[in-house]
């Protein structure tokens, strides 16, 4: 019994493939495919108080923030570090995301943005997420983060994790200072950039440096017998005539003061 063959001949298939190869795909197709398959991140430029930064993200969340001279340099450095491409966002997506980024930087957004930290260790992730708990306009020392995440002796490791923070500014590692109170370095441009960011936030970096020089690490109130970090909102409410200073937790506790339950200095 003869059956009619419904399949095209090999020669017809070859001809059809040649016809398809002659069709030029739209320019937007490759970027869209790369984004959908997580083979490329998307980025946009963002104007901040310390200049232009470039923010990249993917399906997991924001993956990188960098200060760069231009988009081409950012894309090149991103690909070199992460071994994947990064493609500039279209205007519509960029305009939709910018308000959330700007609100986060201004401290007006309560819920944190999603971050892509999956390539970091659990310890590094814990350090960066704890930095998110530091309020705008306040600072905490490395030792505070180490203690808060359950590794009180890991101050050096905390410093290393903050130094390699892939998402500075949005994860505010600029609010973490040295254990003696000095500002220390900053991965996104050094101490001057850190000082500028803290100034905009109202943390008074010059005052912090002066306190560090005087070995003053805590403020106490002689009316409440509570001691705080100097930038704590409770410390700032203490009138000068009722303010006492301490160089260590031990000194404060030996004088009968108890730690603040909000900033948790001890």
Instruction: Tell me phi and psi for residue 39, to 5 degrees.
Output: -90, -5
Give the architecture-level CATH label for domain 119-204. Answer: Orthogonal Bundle (1.10)
pLDDT in tens, 156-181: 999 999 999 999 999 999 999 999 99
Fold of 215-266: DNA Methylphosphotriester Repair Domain (3.40.10)
232 is catalytic: no
With a cut of 60, say whether residue 249 has pLDDT above it: yes
- What does pTM read for this prediction? 0.83
pLDDT bracket for residue 1 (50, 70, 90): very low
**Could you tell me the strand order of the sheet in which 218-221 lies?**
243-246, 218-221, 226-228, 258-259
Q: By C-alpha distance, which of 133, 136, 174, 152 is closest to 266? A: 152
User: DSSP states of 193-248 as a string?
Assistant: HHHHHHHHHT--HHHHHHHHHTT--EEEETTTTEEE-TTSTTGGGS-GGGEEEESS
Q: Say if CB 219 and CB 227 are below 8 A apart.
A: yes
**Could you tell me the strand order of the sheet in which 85-88 lies?**
61-67, 51-58, 40-48, 85-88
Which one is catalytic: 173, 228, 260, 263?
173
* Domain residue spans of the chain: 30-105, 119-204, 215-266
The mean per-residue pLDDT over the stretch 213-235 comes to 97
Q: Which residues contact 44 (CB under 8 A, 6 or more apart)?
A: 54, 55, 88, 89, 93, 94, 97, 98
Give the architecture-level CATH label for domain 30-105. Answer: 2-Layer Sandwich (3.30)
pLDDT in tens, 60-86: 999 999 999 899 999 999 999 999 999
Average pLDDT, the chain: 89
């Amino acid at each position: 019994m003869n059956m009619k063959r419904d399949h095209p001949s090999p020669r017809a298939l070859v001809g059809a493939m040649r016809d398809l190869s002659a069709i030029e795909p739209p320019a937007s197709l490759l970027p869209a495919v790369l984004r959908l398959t997580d083979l490329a991140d998307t980025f946009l430029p963002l104007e901040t108080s310390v200049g232009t930064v470039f923010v990249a993200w993917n399906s997991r969340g924001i993956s990188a923030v960098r200060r760069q001279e231009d988009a081409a340099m950012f894309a090149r450095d991103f690909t070199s570090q992460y071994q994947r491409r990064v493609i500039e966002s279209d205007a519509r997506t960029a305009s939709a995301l910018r308000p959330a980024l700007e609100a986060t930087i201004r401290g007006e957004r309560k819920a944190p943005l999603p971050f892509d930290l999956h390539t970091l260790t659990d310890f590094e992730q814990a350090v960066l997420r704890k930095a998110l708990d530091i309020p705008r306009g306040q600072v905490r020392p490395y030792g505070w983060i180490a203690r808060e995440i359950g590794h009180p002796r890991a101050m050096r490791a905390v410093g290393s994790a903050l130094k390699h923070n892939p998402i500075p500014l949005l994860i505010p590692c600029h609010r973490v200072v040295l254990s003696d109170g000095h500002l220390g370095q900053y991965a996104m441009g050094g101490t001057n950039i850190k000082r500028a960011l803290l100034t905009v936030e109202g943390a008074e970096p010059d005052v912090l440096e002066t306190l560090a020089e005087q070995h003053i690490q805590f403020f106490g109130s002689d009316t409440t017998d509570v001691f705080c970090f100097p930038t704590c909102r409770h410390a700032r409410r203490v009138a000068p005539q009722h303010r006492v200073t301490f160089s260590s937790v031990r000194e404060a506790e030996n004088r009968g003061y108890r730690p603040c339950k909000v900033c948790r200095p001890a």
